[in-house]
Structure formats: structure tokens, C-alpha cells
Amino acid sequence: MVGSIVALSGFRRIGVLGFWLTVLVGHAGHAGQPARAAWFPDQPATPHYAWTYEPCEDCVRLSAQPGWQLMAALAGVGEVRFLYAAGEAEAHAYSYAPDVVVLTPAILQLDRCQLAFVVGHELVHIALRHFDEDALLMSLMSGKAADWTRKGKVAIDLLTDNIALALRISPHWQLQEREADWLGALLAAEAYGCTLEEGALPYLAAAEGDGGGLAAAHEASFGRAGFLMAFAESARRLAFKGYYLPR
Ligand SMILES: [Zn+2]
């Protein structure tokens, strides 16, 4: 999946072969949407970097399902652009900084709750600005001053041909993935009424997810599922307290 360190630098994913992600500044209270859920973490204090990545060339705009924008609002994010990667055969989702989630045809075939978990996971990466966090960490780990650049790509490019840096930062990537998993599962519960047993767990069971990659950014699927089990009751309570969308 990941042939070089450079390939790690633009975005991230987990999923059958991984999900990936990006970043955005959240604006709670988007018109017609609820405010950030009380249980969702506050906006991080991480500095904001400027991101200039161009989304995939063959992607086209995808109309967001009402639940996707609802989950974004519950995560404190205003507008998210969804793109359809028509030419990609693999079942995966990933995101680009600052506000784009890309979905492939095969991932859209997932059932309602599994897809809600996958999209929720990506939205957490965006809401918590994990890409800004990566840019800052890579700068500091490389001995740079925290403010040496505000260009996200310049900071991320520190990874190029630098496996030592990738290995040093991989524990942080793993923490980000866990954060996206449990919070994404709770977004799916709050918005769609999906329990772990209906969404995240069957998704992970079916995923080939051997995790890893060059710098072990992604935990294997069974490890992710085991971690998520601690949140099964939380998801169940959110799912049954009165979710937003009709089944
Ligand atoms: Zn992820």
C-alpha cells in the first residue's frame, strides 16, 4: 500500500487498505445543523497550517448524505466537501486537508451503519485537525522552531526519504487512528443510531486490515476492534437515547 515515505505524507487512510485524512477549521452551528455534541472534544489548540493539496484528479463532487453533514456538525465542523473517486477499485475512504473526504464506489456499497462509521472516522480527523498536528510534530521532531513554517506541505515534506522521522511519529499516528475510531463510532451512534455491533465491528471484521504500512501508522483490524470494545456501552447509550435520522 505504501511504497515510500513520500506516499505517507499527503493524506492518511485506514479501511480495507486504510482510511486517510486531512484537516479543517471547525465552525459549529452550520445552518440547519445542530451544534457540536457535548461529548465531542473541544477544538484543538494546534496551530493552523495552510494546506494546498489538490484533490485526486479523477474525483467528482458527491452529494453528501444528510447524515454525513449531520455528523460533521456534531463534530463541530461546518462544511465538508465529499468527493467520489470513480476510478478507484479498492474499498476505502480518505481525506485531504483541509476539508475533503473522498469515497470510492466500493466503500459506498457498505451498509448504512458501516458506512456511517467509515465517514465518521474521516470526519474526526478533519474536526481534530490531525494534519495540523502532524505538521507541528514533524517540525518539532526535526529540530525546527514551532513557527518555522505555516505551510502544511512544507512541514509534511520533512518526511521525504526520512524513515527515522516516520518511525518516530508513527505512535502519534496510531493514537490519531484510535481517536478517529472511537469518536467516529460515537458520531455514527448519535446521528444514525448505530451501535458498534451494527457498524464499526462488522466493518473491521470484514476488512482485511493488516494495519501497518511502512511506519506502522495503522493498527491491525482486530486490534482496532479490541480497543473499540471499551466504547460499546457508550455507543449503545447514544444510539438509543434518540438519534437524529430515521432508520
Ligand atoms: Zn484514519
Is residue 183 pLDDT above 90, yes or no? yes
Spatial distance between the Cα atoms of 220 and 127, rounded to a whole number of angstroms: 24
Between the CA of 103 and the centroid of ligand 1 the distance, in Å, is: 13
Between the CA of 140 and the centroid of ligand 1 the distance, in Å, is: 22
Confidence at 244, pLDDT banded by 50, 70, 90:
confident
Q: How many CA atoms lie within 13 A of 42 on its CB side?
A: 3
Between the CA of 14 and the centroid of ligand 1 the distance, in Å, is: 5
| Average pLDDT of span 209-236 | 79
Between the CA of 28 and the centroid of ligand 1 the distance, in Å, is: 22
Between the CA of 12 and the centroid of ligand 1 the distance, in Å, is: 6
Pairing between β-strand 100-103 and β-strand 59-61 as defined by DSSP bridges: unpaired
Spatial distance between the Cα atoms of 150 and 56, rounded to a whole number of angstroms: 23
Q: Residue 136 is placed in which grid cell? A: 507541528
Where is pLDDT greater, at 131 or 3? Answer: 131
Is residue 14 pLDDT above 50, yes or no? no
Is residue 217 pLDDT above 90, yes or no? no
Computed over every residue of the chain, the mean pLDDT equals 84
All residues with CB under 5 Å from ion ligand 1: 14, 19, 177, 180
Dmax over Cα atoms in the chain, in whole Å?
51
Structure confidence by residue, pLDDT tens digits, 76-131: 998 899 999 999 999 989 998 989 999 999 999 999 999 999 999 999 999 999 99
DSSP string, 23-52: -----SS-TTSPPPPTTSPPPP-PPPPB--
pLDDT at 117: 97
Q: Residue 210 is placed in which grid cell? A: 493488516
Please name the helix (run of DSSP H) or strand (run of DSSP E) that holds residue 102, with its range, or none: strand 100-103
| Average pLDDT of span 215-233 | 85
Between the CA of 174 and the centroid of ligand 1 the distance, in Å, is: 9
Where is pLDDT greater, at 154 or 56? Answer: 154
Between the CA of 129 and the centroid of ligand 1 the distance, in Å, is: 12
Q: Residue 162 is placed in which grid cell? A: 526520512
| Average pLDDT of span 158-183 | 95
Is residue 218 pLDDT above 70, yes or no? no
Buried (b) or exposed (e) across 193-227, using 16+ Cβ within 10 A? bbbbebbbbbbbeebebebebbbebbbbbeebbee
Give 83's DSSP letter. Answer: E
* Peptide bond between residue 98 and the one before it cis (omega within 30 degrees of 0): yes
Confidence at 242, pLDDT banded by 50, 70, 90:
low
Q: Residue 107 is placed in which grid cell? A: 466503500
CB 25 within 8 A of CB 46: no
Between the CA of 233 and the centroid of ligand 1 the distance, in Å, is: 22
pLDDT at 138: 96
CB 115 within 8 A of CB 31: no
pLDDT at 215: 54
Structure confidence by residue, pLDDT tens digits, 61-74: 999 999 999 999 99
Spatial distance between the Cα atoms of 241 and 226, rounded to a whole number of angstroms: 24
Closest Cα partner for 69 from 56, 53, 80, 85? 80
